[in-house]
Homo-oligomer: A and B are copies of this chain.
Amino acid sequence: MSIKMRPIGVVETDVADADIAHQRRKMISEIRIFEEYAEGLTGITDYSHIIVLFWMHRVERSANQLVHPRGDSELPLTGVLASRGRGHPNPIGFAVAELIEQKGNRLKVRRLDAYDGTPIIDIKPYDHYDVYTELRMPQWFNDRLTRHRSENPQSGG
């Protein structure tokens, strides 16, 4: 069985591919929804944040199902489905982005870590029911979060 999707828009950004990983928390990009789907954005600015699903079309597919998270060989080998990195069987990108502005079929967003030209496959509003605050995460994740916060006391992330 094969599932077919249609791109509904495209990511536009001046940030070079190689700079996206370390600029992601601040980077601003635009989502251009194709005209035929633009009416579907009606009311989107009632929300401060949106879920963006995109198709990582330039990521090479790999048969390898175990990876080091964040490409860091000090972190334990982890399944791709238990990791937020690349290498998933279907290369779907997921981001919660802050919606800054809508102009017709264009959305200006903050924190969408997708390459220029990436096809958009869905947009959904992010709401209260997506928020879980009592989380268990791997120890290495908690360690890095603590370190990040101590090094960036003003950071919201």
- Residues A77 and B42 in contact in the complex (CB < 8 Å), given A47-B138, A127-B135, A137-B47: yes
CB atoms of B79 and A43 under 8 A apart:
yes
Would you give the 0/1 interface string for A19-36, flagging 1 where the beta carbon is closer than 8 Å to chain B? Answer: 000000000000001000
Residue of B nearest to A45 (CB): B82
Q: Point out residues on A near B: beta carbons under 8 Å.
A: 1-8, 33, 37, 39-44, 46-49, 51, 53, 55, 57, 65-66, 76-84, 88-90, 92, 94, 96, 98, 119, 121-139, 141, 145, 157
* Interface pairs A-B: 7 shortest CB-CB: A42-B79, A48-B136, A40-B81, A44-B82, A46-B138, A40-B79, A43-B78
